Structure 1
Amino acid sequence: MKTLHILFIALFASLFVLTSWTAAEYYSPKENTGDILLGDWKPSNGRSVIRISKGETSKGQDKNKYYGRIVWLKEKNNADGTPRLDINNPDDAKKSDKILGMTNMRELEFVGDKNDLKWENGNIYDPNNGSDYSFEMTMNKKNTNLVDGRGYIGVSMFGRTDTWKRLVKKGK
């Protein structure tokens, strides 16, 4: 009888530990899966490279969201050698801003999980036409070096998708 009592207590304790471990595993914060998006990306036209990073509070950005900055342009200067400026911007005060170094992707939020790599609720600015679009991205978990970015006005169904390729340093 005493053996049965000890066995029951051991079984109950094991069940309690297993349940606690499973609950902690489920509810504890994990490495941010959304950070798989961090890095340098080249849109399909090959004319620029966008560096995606987490927001910096010192720049007034949300540290939990993703931002993209133009770090390379195929044609960074005009024909006369002067830097390309944001001349198509509807805000006159920004028309003299350089395109190289500009943050053109803002506030993208990871809304997926490790099985559904998806970012939404962001915006992307196109300096070629001065337009700002709602923006979302999806990544195929089988090939994390490709991501589909979709810019749209209003409803996602009426947008345009572009595939970006991650730039990977040789030897990595």
Structure 2
Amino acid sequence: MKATVLFCILLTTSAFKAFCQEEDAILGTWISIRETEKIEIYKKDNKYFGKLIWLKDSVDKDQKPLKDTHNHDASLRGRSLIGVDILNDLSFARKNIWRGGSVYDTKSGRSYNCQVALPEPSKLNIRKYYGLAIMGRTEEWKRVSN
């Protein structure tokens, strides 16, 4: 009897652990396909966010850090682009799919609906769209090895 209870506990905890690993599979550092920016995806309160941590061209002509000058909120235009969350409020939907969040485009200052897919461990597809996902555009990111 004790062996059966122990087996059930081990089975339950290992299944929960496997589910959490799948859910957190997007965590880590990623680089855009053009290799112009690096994003660190992290988890906070069961939601996923992506912070801009590196830009290939991170300074302006005066050698000052680039600012969020295109932001539609004038009070945020003075902040540095490094450290800005460009992925926001993503939720795990099912195996290799996260949705329900938004992606911020630093070049236009616009936010779009977002869906993220992980077709393989080293490749992330970011789909940004208005309205229906089918009407959007997909950008590929590659995982950065530590």
| Structure 1 length-normalised TM | 0.74
Bigger-Rg structure (1/2): 1
| Residue 102 of structure 2: aligned partner | 123
| Residue 90 of structure 1: aligned partner | 72
Q: Count residues with an aligned counterpart.
A: 139
Structure 2, unpaired ranges of 5+: none
d(CA) in 1 for partners of 2:93, 2:33 = 24
- After superposition, the C-alpha distances for 1:36-57 in whole angstroms (9 at most, x for unaligned) are 11100011121100000011xx
RMSD of equivalent CA atoms: 2.0
The alignment status of 1:21 with 2:8, answered yes or no, reads yes
d(CA) in 1 for partners of 2:64, 2:8 = 61
More strand by share: 2
More helix by share: 1
- After superposition, the C-alpha distances for 1:56-115 in whole angstroms (9 at most, x for unaligned) are xxxxxxx10110000000011101111100110111101111101111111111111xxx
**For 1:48, which of 15, 23, 37 is the aligned residue?**
37
d(CA) in 2 for partners of 1:109, 1:100 = 24
| Residue 75 of structure 1: aligned partner | 57
- After superposition, the C-alpha distances for 1:100-149 in whole angstroms (9 at most, x for unaligned) are 1111111111111xxx3110101110110111011111112xx3000111
Structure 1 consecutive aligned stretches of length 4 or more whose deviation exceeds 4 Å = none
Identity in percent: 27
**For 1:162, which of 135, 139, 142 is the aligned residue?**
139
| Structure 2 length-normalised TM | 0.87
Structure 1, unpaired ranges of 5+: 1-12, 56-62
The alignment status of 1:110 with 2:92, answered yes or no, reads yes
